[in-house]
Amino acid sequence: MNIGVVHHSLDGKGGSGRLAINTIELLKDMGFYVILIICQRPNLEKLKTTYNKDIHVDRIKALFPAQIRAFGIYQRMLTLIPAALTNVDLLISTHGDLLPYHITNRCPLISYCHYPTIALSMDGGASRYTNSLLWRSYFAPYERMTRYLSKPAHVRGRVLTNSKFSKNAITRLYPDIEPTIVYPSADTKSFKKALMSDKREDKILVLCRFTPEKSIENALILAKKLHTKTTIIGSLIPSNRYYFDHLVQMSRSLGIEDLIEFKPNASFNAIIEEMFKSKVYLHTMRGEHFGISIVEAMSAGLIPVVPDYGGCAEIVPEEYQYDGIDTAYATIQSALDASFSDRKRVSDIADLFSDNTFKMSMKKIVEQELGVRPSERLRHTATEA
């Protein structure tokens, strides 16, 4: 059987990219012929360094032969084209939007919706696309097209999502849909190695993409208030260079250059190294749909300090949640003095989000959609796709 995995771009480390790669890995383990349907052809060797995984697909169906470092949300929509030109027995969309692939692909469809894009401009949706005239102008055409393509009448197939927070947003827009929560996975096995570290300093770690909706400015404000060393690691693409430069300039204006270390596009090993040395993980984005980096940090024994609104509030103990700068300040102060038993407790919680847990849940859903029992599943020679 041929299964297509649809994703717009794997350029840059993010939760959706990791989910796509884990899905591909699962399907290969199950013995299927896997076709990656994508807007821009990925560099698989580079991805190995980024995700600490060997990525194997049987075929890549790309719309463009090279990487395109802009117009990311529009690339999601363009995946409709290579998907329409690919014959598969099951289509799995992992980029996050609910698009009508069923119109051209007459096969079962699984859509993993991280958070409905058209909800980003609604109350409570944290997004760069509502923060300035430039970004609103960029987003407006996509929002209008998505509102049409994602009409309730156009949404078909099995819908998965990452949290109760996202599920509520989906059902608010699509009352007839009952999404299944399948929590994304973290490489808990690799991060767990840092749990027993004896190298920890009074240090805060921030791990996220360098993009405005992440509100990384709050980390700089808290570093100044706490006078605590803070390392900020994240993927950085050219279109967000202006935001990275803004953060660097802000750290200088606050006079905390000696406290702040920026590490854009750090390797997987560099991230692990920082987790060996840090005590607290700070998540700055309010309204995050899930936040896989939170789970990674928890697995490594860092105490997570997160906003009390969003998917992250479902997985982090209440005593480590904050509703503003002042409560974040107090929570971090307490977290810096956490005992090993506290670190062990959050690390154990992270075990619920292991690769194996994700794969078991996803495997069951794939088998249900294909209508096969595990004992009937055979590896098929690839048909013309």
Domains: count for the chain: 2
Q: Is residue 382 part of a domain?
A: no
| Least confident residue range of 47-61, 84-98, 275-289 | 47-61
pLDDT of 179 strictly over 90: yes
| Least confident residue range of 77-81, 205-209, 362-366 | 77-81
Q: Is residue 306 part of a domain?
A: yes
pLDDT of 110 strictly over 80: yes
pLDDT of 383 strictly over 50: no
Q: Which residues constitute the domain of residue 167?
A: 2-185+355-376
Q: Is residue 381 part of a domain?
A: no
pLDDT bucket at 75, cuts 50 / 70 / 90:
confident
Separation in Å, CA 76 to CA 79, 101, 331, 362: 5, 12, 38, 22
Same domain, 129 and 270: no
Strand order, beta sheet including 303-307: 260-264, 229-234, 203-207, 280-282, 303-307, 321-322
Same domain, 249 and 228: yes
3-state secondary structure of 105: coil
Q: Pairing mode, if any, of strands 303-307 and 203-207? A: unpaired
pLDDT bucket at 378, cuts 50 / 70 / 90:
very low
pLDDT at 385: 45
Same domain, 53 and 199: no
Same domain, 28 and 175: yes
pLDDT at 201: 97
Q: What angle do CA 164, 166, 167 make, to 5 degrees?
A: 60
pLDDT at 232: 99
pLDDT at 147: 66
Same domain, 335 and 209: yes
Same domain, 156 and 49: yes
Q: Is residue 252 part of a domain?
A: yes
Please report, for the domain that includes residue 327, its CATH number: 3.40.50.2000
Q: Pairing mode, if any, of strands 59-64 and 158-161? A: unpaired
Residue 83 DSSP label:
H
Query: How many other C-beta atoms are found inside a 10 Å radius of the C-beta of residue 122?
Result: 13
CA distance 72 to 240: 12
pLDDT of 67 strictly over 90: no
pLDDT bucket at 140, cuts 50 / 70 / 90:
low
Same domain, 83 and 175: yes
Same domain, 348 and 364: no
Same domain, 252 and 290: yes
Q: Answer with the residue of higher pLDDT: 16 or 166.
A: 166
Same domain, 241 and 195: yes
Average pLDDT, the chain: 87
Instruction: State in Å, rounded, how far the first CA of the chain is from the last one.
Output: 11
Q: Is residue 385 part of a domain?
A: no
Same domain, 101 and 17: yes
pLDDT at 166: 93
Same domain, 204 and 85: no
Percentages helix, strand, coil for the chain (3-state, rounded to 5) are 45, 15, 35
Q: Is residue 41 part of a domain?
A: yes
Q: Is residue 383 part of a domain?
A: no
Phi, psi torsion values for 264, nearest 5 degrees: -70, 140
CA distance 36 to 74: 18
Partnered with residue 158 across adjacent β-strands are: 110
